[in-house]
A and B are shown apart, each in its own frame.
Chain A
Amino acid sequence: MAKDLVKTLADLKEQEVMEIVKSRLSAGDDPLKILEDARKGMEIVGKRFASSEYFIPDLVYSGEILRAVTELVKPKLSKTTESKKLGKVVFGTVAGDIHDIGKDIVVFMLDVNGFEVYDLGVDVPVQKFVEKIKETGAPIVGLSGFLTLAFDSMKQTIEAMKAAGVRDKVKVMIGGGQISEEVRKYTGADAYGKDAMAGVALAKQWAGVK
C-alpha cells in the first residue's frame, strides 16, 4: 500500500491519490508516514521534470495534488516533526519585476530536493532580501528576474548586501529568461543558473552535499 501512494502521486493520478490517502487515514495509518510518501512522490515528480519527462503543467498539477493531500492529513497530525533540511535558501523575483513562473519552479525544485526555501515573492525590495538574510542566516540567496530592468535590480540587491555586511556570508545565484554569464558579471553574483536543475546543483554544491 505504502508504495502505491508514492507512485500514484508521481504519476499524477489525483483521484486515486485522494482515495488512497482517505483509506489509509481511516485505517489509522500514521499521518506522518502518509506525508513522507507524498514527499517521496514529489521527489520523483522533480526528477521527471529534470529529465524533461514532465513540464510546467505537470509540476503545477502535482503541487495542487500535494496541497489537497496535506489538507486532508493536517487535522490528524498530533505533532509536527521537522524533517531534516539540507540548508536554507532565500529566494525572490527582484524589484520592479513580477514574472513569477520561473521563480516558482526553481523554488519547487529546491523544496523537493530538501532545501528550506524562504520565498519572498515578486517585486521584492532590495531591503527585504537583506532583512530576510539577516533574520534566517540563510547562506544561499536566489534572485530571479526577466526584464532588462531586473539586471539593475539584481546589481542593487547585491550591493545592498555588501553595504549591510552580509555579502561575504552568502552565495548568490541569479537566473531567469534573459539572464546570462554577462549579466552575472554585471550584477556581481556568484553564479548564474540556466534552469531550475542548475539552481539545485548550485545550492547542493554550496551546501556541501554531493
Chain B
Amino acid sequence: MEKKWQEMTSDEKQEAMFQRWMSPKDLQGNDIKFQSPQAEKAYKERITIIKDAIQMKKLPNRVPVFLLPSFFPCYHAGITPRDAMYDYDKLNMAFKKFLLDFEPDTNLTSIGPGPGRAFEILDYKLYSWPGHGVSPNASYQCNEGEYMKADEYDALIDDPSNFFSNTYLPRVFGALDGFKMLPALTGILEIFGVAVNFVPFGLPPVQATYKALFEAGAEALKWIGAVGAFNNEATSLGFPAAFGGFTKAPFDTIGDTLRGTRGIMLDMYRQPDKLLKAMDRLTPIMIKMGVSAAQMNGHPLIFIPLHKGADGFLSDEQFKKFYWPTFRKVMIGLINEGVVPFPAAEGRWTTRLDILKDIPKGKTLWMIDQSDMAKVKKTLGGVACLAGNVPSDLLKLGTPEQVKDYVKKLIDTAGKGGGYIVCNGAFFDEVKAENLQAMVAAAKQYGAYKK
C-alpha cells in the first residue's frame, strides 16, 4: 500500500513530487495526451536530467538548458509587451514561437505578462505597465513606496490576512477601497449579533468593490484559460514547465512591496524587533504559498527571486541577522514538503556563499546571476544544483562565437560532476536571437557527460 503523505520522509515526498511532474495533468485533473511517442519520451528525458542535476546522486545524461527571459518572447515575435498583456492569442503565439525557435529543456510558460485588463479594472497602483504608465514597448515596472506604514507592524503581526484585506490591498488597488470597511470575518460566530457583520456588504463602496472583483476575476479566468491551454500544448509537445509557482524570502516580502527598500532599512535601525517578529510571522505563510502552488500544479520547483540580500545591500552581520534566518526557514519548510526551492540569487552574492551553503544536499536549485561561478561551485555547488551565469550584456552585445565559448567554460567549471543547468543569469528583455540559439546549441554540444 502507498504510504500516506504525512508519513513520508522529505526524500520520499520529493520523489513523489517529481513523479507527479512526470505524469502531467490539465487543470481539470485529466492526463495530458502527448502529441507523439517522441514527445512523451522527450518530456520524460528532460525531467530526468533536471532531476538528476538537482538531486546530485547520479550524473545526468547531459547538462540541461533553461531560457528564462523577461519580455524577450514578445520582441522576438514582433509584438509589444502591451499586446501580450491584452491579447491572449498574441501572448500564446509569442511564447510558443519562443519555445519552438529555441527548444530549451523547460517551457517558460506565458504566465509572466499577466492580464492587463484585470489590472485596469482593479486600478492596480503598485505597477506601471506597458501603455499604462510606461511605453507600450517597455516591460512593467514596480512603483516602490511605503504601502505599509512604519507604525503598522503590530497590525500585520496580529492578523496578516486582515491587514492585507483591510489596509494593504485598498492602498495597492484603487478599486478595492471598499475592503477598508470589511468586518473581521472571525466575528461571525452564532446567531446573536451575527447579522451585524453582514451590514458592510450592503454598503455601496463595498458592493462596488465586489463588482470590480467579479469583473477582474472573470478576466483573470479568461487569461488563465489561455495560459493553461498553452501550458498543456507545450507539455504535449514534450516541454515541461519551468516552475510550479513562486514564493519569497520574508525580508523581500516586506522590503519589496510592503515597506519598500527605504522603509525596511530604517526599520532595521528604528524597530528591529518588530521587523524580526513580522518576518517570523510571514515565514509559515511564505512556506504555504510555495507548497500549495507546487501541490496544485503538480510541479516540485518553486521559484524564489532574491533581491535585498545581495552583496552590497547588507553587511554580513545584517544579512545573518535579518535576511538569512527566515529565508532558510522558508527553504526548509518547502523541502520538508517535497518541494524544490528555486532561488534566483540576483546580482552578486559572492560574499554570502559560505552562509548559503548551510542547507541539505540535493534539495535546491539556484539561479546564479553575476556571482563568481568558480567560487559558487566550490561552496554552494557542493550541496546544490546551480543554473545560470550567462550574462545579459553578452547575450545582447556579444557574438554567437563568444556565447558558445562562455557556455563551454561554464560547463567545464560549473558542470563538473553534474549539478549544473545552462541558463541566463538575469531576466533579459531584448537580446540577439542568434545568441540564444548559440547558447542552447552549446549546451547540447558540450553538455554530454562522458560515462
Q: Which residues of A contact B (CB under 8 A)?
A: 12, 14, 54-58, 60-61, 64, 95-98, 100-101, 123, 147-149, 151-152, 177-180, 182-183, 185-186, 195
Measured in the bound complex, the distance between the Cα atoms of B319 and A29 in whole Å is 41
User: How far is the CB of B418 from the nearest CB of chain A, in Å?
Assistant: 29
Q: For residue A98, which residues in chain B have a CB less than 8 angstroms away from its CB?
A: 128, 134, 141-143
User: How far is the CB of B399 from the nearest CB of chain A, in Å?
Assistant: 11
CB-based contact A57/B269 at 8 Å: yes
CB-based contact B430/A57 at 8 Å: no
User: How far is the CB of B135 from the nearest CB of chain A, in Å?
Assistant: 6
Residue of B nearest to A196 (CB): B312
Measured in the bound complex, the distance between the Cα atoms of B128 and A109 in whole Å is 29
Q: For residue A96, which residues in chain B have a CB less than 8 angstroms away from its CB?
A: 134-135, 138-139
CB-based contact A182/B398 at 8 Å: yes
CB-based contact B428/A12 at 8 Å: no
CB-based contact B393/A55 at 8 Å: no
Q: For residue A14, which residues in chain B have a CB less than 8 angstroms away from its CB?
A: 269-270
Measured in the bound complex, the distance between the Cα atoms of B70 and A60 in whole Å is 30
CB-based contact A149/B138 at 8 Å: yes
In the assembled complex, B261 has its CB within 8 A of some CB on chain A: yes
CB-based contact B266/A148 at 8 Å: no
CB-based contact B139/A147 at 8 Å: yes
User: How far is the CB of A191 from the nearest CB of chain B, in Å?
Assistant: 16
CB-based contact A61/B315 at 8 Å: no
CB-based contact A56/B269 at 8 Å: no
Beyond A56-B314, A148-B428, A182-B398, is A61–B393 a contact (Cβ under 8 Å)? no
CB-based contact B266/A55 at 8 Å: no
Q: For residue B394, which residues in chain A have a CB less than 8 angstroms away from its CB?
A: 182
Q: A179 is contacted by which of B128, B393, B431 (Cβ under 8 Å)?
A: B393
Contact with A along B255-269 (1 / 0, CB 8 A): 000000110011011
Q: For residue B138, which residues in chain A have a CB less than 8 angstroms away from its CB?
A: 96, 149
User: How far is the CB of B129 from the nearest CB of chain A, in Å?
Assistant: 12
CB-based contact B318/A180 at 8 Å: no
Q: B426 is contacted by which of A54, A149, A178 (Cβ under 8 Å)?
A: A178
In the assembled complex, B392 has its CB within 8 A of some CB on chain A: yes
CB-based contact A148/B396 at 8 Å: yes
Number of A-B contacts (CB under 8 A): 83
Measured in the bound complex, the distance between the Cα atoms of B429 and A152 in whole Å is 11
Q: For residue B143, which residues in chain A have a CB less than 8 angstroms away from its CB?
A: 98
Contact with A along B117-147 (1 / 0, CB 8 A): 0000000000010000011001101111000
User: How far is the CB of B448 from the nearest CB of chain A, in Å?
Assistant: 30
In the assembled complex, B313 has its CB within 8 A of some CB on chain A: yes
Q: For residue A101, which residues in chain B have a CB less than 8 angstroms away from its CB?
A: 261
Q: B312 is contacted by which of A12, A55, A148, A179 (Cβ under 8 Å)?
A: A55
Q: B265 is contacted by which of A57, A151, A177, A183 (Cβ under 8 Å)?
A: A57
Q: For residue B142, which residues in chain A have a CB less than 8 angstroms away from its CB?
A: 98
In the assembled complex, B284 has its CB within 8 A of some CB on chain A: no
CB-based contact A180/B393 at 8 Å: yes
CB-based contact A147/B429 at 8 Å: yes
Contacts beyond the supplied A57-B266, A98-B134, A183-B397: 11 A-B pairs with Cβ under 8 Å: A55-B315, A56-B313, A56-B314, A64-B266, A98-B142, A123-B141, A147-B139, A148-B396, A151-B397, A178-B391, A182-B397
CB-based contact A123/B266 at 8 Å: no
Q: B392 is contacted by which of A56, A57, A178 (Cβ under 8 Å)?
A: A178
Residue of A nearest to B144 (CB): A100
Measured in the bound complex, the distance between the Cα atoms of B207 and A180 in whole Å is 53
CB-based contact A186/B429 at 8 Å: no
CB-based contact A60/B266 at 8 Å: yes
In the assembled complex, B347 has its CB within 8 A of some CB on chain A: yes
Q: Which residues of B contact A (CB under 8 A)?
A: 70, 128, 134-135, 138-139, 141-144, 261-262, 265-266, 268-270, 312-315, 318, 347, 370, 391-398, 426, 428-431
Q: For residue A97, which residues in chain B have a CB less than 8 angstroms away from its CB?
A: 141
User: How far is the CB of A146 from the nearest CB of chain B, in Å?
Assistant: 9
User: How far is the CB of B424 from the nearest CB of chain A, in Å?
Assistant: 10
CB-based contact B430/A182 at 8 Å: no
CB-based contact B393/A57 at 8 Å: no
Q: What are 29 A-B contacts defined by CB distance under 8 Å?
A: A55-B313, A55-B314, A55-B318, A57-B314, A58-B315, A60-B265, A61-B266, A95-B135, A96-B135, A96-B139, A98-B134, A123-B134, A148-B396, A148-B428, A149-B138, A149-B139, A151-B393, A151-B397, A152-B430, A177-B347, A177-B426, A178-B370, A178-B392, A178-B393, A178-B426, A180-B391, A182-B394, A182-B397, A183-B393
CB-based contact A148/B314 at 8 Å: no
Q: For residue A177, which residues in chain B have a CB less than 8 angstroms away from its CB?
A: 347, 370, 426
User: How far is the CB of B333 from the nearest CB of chain A, in Å?
Assistant: 26
User: How far is the CB of A83 from the nearest CB of chain B, in Å?
Assistant: 26
User: How far is the CB of A5 from the nearest CB of chain B, in Å?
Assistant: 18
Residue of B nearest to A122 (CB): B141
Sorted nearest first, the 6 A-B pairs with minimum C-beta distance are A57-B265, A60-B265, A96-B138, A98-B141, A148-B428, A55-B315
User: How far is the CB of B252 from the nearest CB of chain A, in Å?
Assistant: 13
Measured in the bound complex, the distance between the Cα atoms of B395 and A186 in whole Å is 13
Residue of A nearest to B316 (CB): A55
CB-based contact A148/B141 at 8 Å: no
Q: A60 is contacted by which of B139, B262, B393 (Cβ under 8 Å)?
A: B262
Residue of B nearest to A195 (CB): B312
Measured in the bound complex, the distance between the Cα atoms of B143 and A95 in whole Å is 15
Measured in the bound complex, the distance between the Cα atoms of B315 and A74 in whole Å is 33
Measured in the bound complex, the distance between the Cα atoms of B426 and A151 in whole Å is 14
Beyond A148-B430, A152-B430, A183-B393, is A57–B134 a contact (Cβ under 8 Å)? no
CB-based contact A61/B265 at 8 Å: yes
Q: For residue B269, which residues in chain A have a CB less than 8 angstroms away from its CB?
A: 12, 14, 57, 61
Measured in the bound complex, the distance between the Cα atoms of B202 and A19 in whole Å is 53
Q: For residue A56, which residues in chain B have a CB less than 8 angstroms away from its CB?
A: 261, 265, 312-314
Measured in the bound complex, the distance between the Cα atoms of B264 and A60 in whole Å is 10
Q: Which of B142, B261, B391 has the most CB of A within 10 A?
A: B261
Residue of B nearest to A153 (CB): B138
